[in-house]
Amino acid sequence: MKPSIEVSGSEIKQYRKQLHRDADKSGYYLNPDSEFTDNLVEGLIVNSKRYGYSSCPCRLSGGSREKDIDIICPCDYRDDDISQYGACYCALYVSEEVVNGKKELKPVPERRGHKKELKANKVSGVSIDVWRCKVCGYLCARKTPPDVCPVCKAKKERFEIFIKS
Ligand code: SF4
């Protein structure tokens, strides 16, 4: 098993500031749930340290920039997802309507397709389990499932192992 990658609170704070600036420039917002957002920011930092680029924290990386070029944050799918659903796949970036409560945050279907993701995963291997929310299909790579699904709010018990490390 690969050693775990440490991320400090100040690294998260600094990266979050940068993402805020990027979101602002694009006319988007970061998810107002700060704990949820910080978890995703931490995932981006871990991926940056592991791969050398900020691969999407909600998707499996293929382990090379070439394979992951479409899922380097902000991914190729962000704008279409925000326009259609009010949020990117991870719900890191959200629209003004979501922030103002005019649009409900709902699960965002994967545009990339699991096949491509699984193929990428097969090439690189993973060092951490991938969990799937059985209610909305949300995927996350972490040691244990989250207490509550950040997208549909289903409880921890509704998660299943999607890929075992
Ligand atoms: S889904 Fe969101 S967090 Fe993931 S890469 Fe796309 S923009 Fe970044």
Domains and CATH numbers, the chain: 9-163 (3.90.460.10)
State the distance from the centre of ligand 1 to the C-alpha of 88, rounded, in angstroms: 6
For the chain, which residues score pLDDT lower than 70?
1-3, 114-128, 150, 165
Best mutation site among 18, 36, 76, 92 for ligand 1, i.e. most ligand atoms within 8 A of its Cβ? 92
What residues are in contact with ligand 1 under a 6 Å CB criterion? 40, 56, 58, 71, 73-75, 78, 88-90, 92-93
Strand partners, 125: none
CB 159 within 8 A of CB 146: yes
pLDDT in tens, 94-125: 999 999 999 998 888 888 875 455 555 544 44
Residue 97: per-residue pLDDT: 95
Indicate which residue's Cα is closest to atom 6 of ligand 1: 75
pTM of the full predicted structure? 0.74
Query: What's the pLDDT at 28?
Result: 96
What is the number of other CB atoms lying within 10 angstroms of the CB of residue 16?
A: 19
Element spanning 139, H or E: strand 139-141
The Cα–Cα gap between 43 and 54 comes to: 9
Q: How far apart are CA 92 and CA 39, in angstroms?
A: 10
| 107 alpha carbon – ligand 1 mean position (Å) | 14
Q: Tell which one of 25, 30, 31, 56 to mutate to probe ligand 1, the residue whose CB is within 8 A of the most ligand atoms.
A: 56
Query: Is 109:115 a contact under the CB 8 Å cutoff?
Result: no
